[in-house]
Structure 1
């Protein structure tokens, strides 16, 4: 089935890494890749520069986007792949929403930090905004400089507090694409679950029944991010999946973007799925 993939770019090295990862991930699939650049000039800056100069900046950005498409075409020899460009003057999250609706986008792929160089920043401001606001489709966040590894081992972090149905489809699609094993991971003080959690666990077991999967428990610790990263390392996880809903793990994570412990820095791609309803 043909995939429509949106890749926002700010022409940074991180954005280029995200593009390369995406091309490798879908190298054997029929895909249209939409390269999106959201261009704007800060209102405070407009006061000090001329309209002609603004037009020049805009034209330069449009040329960069066109050149990026040509560069992607040159390195990607897959006949199943086509590239389109989208130049927008909307804010990034609005531009992404517009593109998702207009082109029936299946997934959004982007880098963690864009042009930010700080290794203490988990996610850049654009990425955080998209995680919070993107409700129409899943997104995959690629760490800076991450080299493609086939996602044979995938983790799905959950506390079993909610029932997930169609939200899990992107996770299952990846599993089908690479015959990946889905490792469900739950952080808890002990293995005792409430009746509601047991019900959600049983429904999850049924939902994943046709896919290779396992259920894993991690003892509750103060730093859940560190616990997840330890699990990722020990289990050789290639993609971590999180469903974004109110008070979810990913919401707590992005509300504290300055990471003091280097172990908390993301080392693998994150598949962030918006909750339905």
Structure 2
């Protein structure tokens, strides 16, 4: 039994706008704790982050930036992308976490469970965490058994 079916996953992968997938049996409450995993390698675009900034501002959300990589030291490029995120998400309280967990889906799932996360946010781009989650082998592994809303932004060339 999976939370999000194949149609939802296909929409997340290919539609050209933000997608919010909400599990069928989800009981609404404000998204106070939001998880945004990133390797800081994606050059985010302001338009993709504006909606998240507005959501975070409206609900006074804390955004947990989760860096999943065994190498703790960020490159200059990664630091630039992290600073850009700070600038764009100015309405939110940001916290930065690092995990050495090699399996990204496991790291995300553990973080959601241990930190009472209300919403997962990811950016779909080539070689992103989201892309890895949506591939069939990883999809079967995690089963997308997250029981919280999942907001997906598109950072693909248009």
Q: Does TM-score exceed 0.5, indicating one fold?
A: yes
CA contact (8 A) 2:57 2:91 kept: no
- Following superposition, the deviation at residue 175 of structure 1 comes to 0.7
**Greater Rg by CA:** 1
Relative contact order (alpha carbons < 8 A, sep ≥ 6): 1 or 2 greater? 2
Q: What is the rounded CA distance, in whole Å, between the counterparts of 1:195 and 1:152 in structure 2?
A: 31
Gapped regions of structure 1 (runs ≥ 5): 1-118
State yes or no: 1:174 paired with 2:48: no
- Following superposition, the deviation at residue 190 of structure 1 comes to 3.0
Q: Choose the corresponding residue for 1:269, options 137, 149, 156.
A: 149
- Following superposition, the deviation at residue 211 of structure 1 comes to 2.3
Aligned length: 155
Pairwise mapping of residues 199-210 of structure 1 onto structure 2 (< 5 A)?
199-210=80-91
CA contact (8 A) 1:163 1:200 kept: yes
Q: What is the rounded CA distance, in whole Å, between the counterparts of 2:154 and 2:101 in structure 1?
A: 25
Gapped regions of structure 2 (runs ≥ 5): none
Secondary structure, in 3 states, of the residue corresponding to 1:168? helix
| CA RMSD of superposed structures (Å) | 1.9
- Following superposition, the deviation at residue 215 of structure 1 comes to 1.3
Equivalent residue, structure 2, for 1:124: 5
Q: What is the rounded CA distance, in whole Å, between the counterparts of 2:117 and 2:20 in structure 1?
A: 15
Pairwise mapping of residues 159-198 of structure 1 onto structure 2 (< 5 A)?
159-164=39-44, 165-198=46-79
- Following superposition, the deviation at residue 218 of structure 1 comes to 1.3
CA contact (8 A) 2:105 2:142 kept: no
CA contact (8 A) 2:53 2:88 kept: no
- Following superposition, the deviation at residue 206 of structure 1 comes to 2.2
Equivalent residue, structure 1, for 2:140: 259
